[in-house]
């Protein structure tokens, strides 16, 4: 097994708040993909839930899709979620 250096970026960051919120509101990956107006895959949502590092752009897409999903399902939020609410990195 190769030695890790300080330059190595940790890619697996553990379950994210996104996963807990989706579970709490009974949402699955397809709900988020269907609500997104930009290209988004089920695999990207799953990676975000499990803590695989996503680009900032992809985090913003998922956040926008989460907010839209909540509106479509008629679930009221006090305020829209921000990227920092769904991802801890």
* Predicted confidence pLDDT, tens digits, the chain (89 residues): 555 555 566 777 888 999 999 999 999 999 999 999 999 999 999 999 999 999 999 999 999 999 999 998 888 888 999 999 999 98
- 78 and 45 in contact (C-beta within 8 Å)? no
What pTM does this model have? 0.83
| Cα–chain center distance at 20 | 10
| Alpha helices (H) in 1-88, listed in sequence order | 17-24, 29-35, 42-50, 56-72, 83-86
Backbone angles phi, psi at 82, to 5 degrees: -110, 165
């Amino acid at each position: 097994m190769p030695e890790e250096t300080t330059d190595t970026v940790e890619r697996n960051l553990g379950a994210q708040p996104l996963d807990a919120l989706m579970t709490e509101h009974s949402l699955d990956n397809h709900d988020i993909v269907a609500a997104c107006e930009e290209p988004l895959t089920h695999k990207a949502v799953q990676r975000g839930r499990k803590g695989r590092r996503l680009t900032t752009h992809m985090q913003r897409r998922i956040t926008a899709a989460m907010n839209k999903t909540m509106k479509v399902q008629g679930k009221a939020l006090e305020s829209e979620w921000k990227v920092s609410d769904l991802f801890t990195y």
